[in-house]
Copies of this chain bind each other. A is one copy, B any other.
Amino acid sequence: MIPARSQEFPEKPGSLLIEGALTGEGLIDIFVSEEGIIGAAGPDAGRKFRAKADYLIDGTRSVALPGLVNTHTHAAMTLLRGFADDMPLQQWLSEKIWPLEARLTGKDVYWGTRLACLEMIRSGTTTFQDMYFFMEEAARAVDAAGVRAVLAYGFIDLGSEEKREHEIRATERFVTHIKALDNPRITAAAGPHAIYTVSEEGLSWLAGYSREEGIGIHIHLSETEQEVTDSVKAFGLRPPQILDRCGILTSRTVAAHCCWLDKGECELLGKRGVSVAYNPASNMKLAVNRAMPYHWLTEAGVNVSLGTDGCSSNNNLDMFEEMKTGALLQKFYWNSPTLLPASAMLSAATRGGAEALGTGTGILAPGHPADIILLDRDIVCNTPLHSISSNAVYSCNGSAVTTVICQGRVLMRDRYIPGEDEVLRQASAAAADLVERTGVA
């Protein structure tokens, strides 16, 4: 565990004043109300609010950024980190990943998600969107960790009516459960896994259900070339066309990957108001062989956000590393050193993500939920500090983050996170036990 620089930790709820942090607008103070909303942000906020603040946070040797937003992951797969890599996709899935996933318990998902939340807090992510199983347990982990999340039960019917009925009930049960929690940090989304695992009947039901419930839709789209060619072979249609005729392409939808979209499909997503989650590290590791067409998407007005994907195909949840990989991959694949510059990448990982999920805002301004991270200025990756966004995207990784605030609550201060040891120990034990009872080496 990385040790704390300070042992003072604001355990109880209260208002906060961050003093003298550097932002793109110069040195500012940020006042956060006890309700977790930014009350003031500017060079003189400190003078006005110092007397009102329950806690003071010294930001004078820090850069302040909005908390990062990870719009596509499978959080509990942290337990599988490093379990199997560098294998052909089908062999990897059938010999390694699926046997383990078949034996996952709710307890595993709880500790796997706690580990994921710990990792995200350490590396400056305050909000994530998840799709997995045992999602009530994931919600319990998110609640305990204090981060913000949009959770979806991964709906897979494989064309079977019986399985579809099961998945419909599981989705309804999960959404009802999340709504009953009435936790401002936790919302539910519909989670159709992909066109190759969900029937059109399933997709159409989820489209209608999500509209009625006013919740988002989280889906994988055109990740691999095979997904596209199989779709054309089976249906005579490309994946976005199938989703569109089922009503899945909406302004509440986040489509992950989107590596193999053509230009017309980017325009369709733009027309429908769909947001895209870009997953560069996963796309590279799994050799999908084409980078998401960022330029076509933005030309079409599509909101592009950033996600890490799960730890089996990344193998971490560090959004700073992901920003670098993402900015580099666009330049490399599309052969343009000016494509996806640092400031745009940082914006996609903050405001773009918040917009995609309709939760948090990715902006450090009064009236917005206080999801704030502080980065160390007295550290190699911020030396020299010619540019905040360039250093954040290209030079620093998550280890530069010292302090994390979500909805006004301090989750990490001076690199100290209460309860970290137990999460590491329990997640480690859960992973070892999972491998042992699965009997896969």
Contacts and interface: CB of A to CB of B under 8 A. Distances in A.
Interface of A: 1-3, 5, 78-83, 85-89, 92, 115, 118-119, 122, 281, 283-289, 311, 314-316, 318, 321, 324-325, 327-329, 331-332, 334-339, 341-342, 376, 378-381, 383-387, 390-391, 394-399, 415, 421, 424, 427-428, 431-432, 435
A394 B332 contact: no
Given A394-B316, A397-B318, A328 B284 contact: yes
A111 to B, nearest CB: 10
A253 B427 CA distance: 47
A122 B400 CA distance: 13
Contacts of A288: 332
Nearest to A80: B386
Contact of A337 (B82, B88, B119, B325): B88
Given A2-B2, A284-B329, A397-B321, A378 B424 contact: yes
Contact of A331 (B284, B380, B397, B424): B284
A316 B337 CA distance: 18
A332 B287 contact: yes
- Copies of this chain, complex-wide, total 2
A98 to B, nearest CB: 16
Contacts of A315: 390-391, 394-395
Contacts of A432: 384
Contact of A395 (B122, B316, B324): B316
Residue among A339, A342, A383, A427 with max Cβ neighbours from chain B (10 Å): A383
A86 B330 CA distance: 11
A395 B332 CA distance: 22
B119 A1 contact: no
B85 A331 contact: no
B285 A86 contact: no
Contacts of A384: 79, 81-83, 427-428, 431-432
B87 A391 contact: no
Contact of A394 (B79, B314, B334): B314
Nearest to A331: B287
Contact of A397 (B332, B337, B397): B397
Contact of A387 (B82, B118, B427, B428): B82
A3 B3 CA distance: 8
Residue among A281, A316, A332, A396 with max Cβ neighbours from chain B (10 Å): A332
A286 B327 CA distance: 11
Contacts of A82: 384-387, 390-391, 394-395
A31 B336 CA distance: 50
A431 B283 contact: no
A390 B325 CA distance: 18
